[in-house]
Amino acid sequence: MNLTRISVKLSLLVPAFLLSTGGLGLSARQAAAQLYNPIPLDSTEISDTLSKADIPTGVGGFAKDYVINLEAGDQITIDAISEEFDTLVTLMDANGLIVNENDDGPDGSTNSLLFARINESGKYTVRVRSYAGDGEGPFSVKLARLRPI
> Which tens digit of pLDDT belongs to each residue from 110-135?
999 999 999 999 999 999 999 877 78
- What is the rounded CA–CA span in Å between residue 84 and residue 98? 25
Strand order in the sheet with 45-50: 45-50, 137-146, 75-81, 112-117
Q: Which of these CATH numbers, 1.10.3720.10, 2.30.40.10, 2.60.120.380, 2.40.50.100, describes 38-146? A: 2.60.120.380
Query: How confident is the model over 4-56, as pLDDT tens digits?
Result: 444 444 344 444 444 444 555 666 655 555 567 788 887 789 999 999 989 88
68 pLDDT higher than 60:
yes
CB atoms within 10 A of CB 138: 14
Q: Where are the domains of the chain?
A: 3-33, 38-146
- pTM for this prediction: 0.75
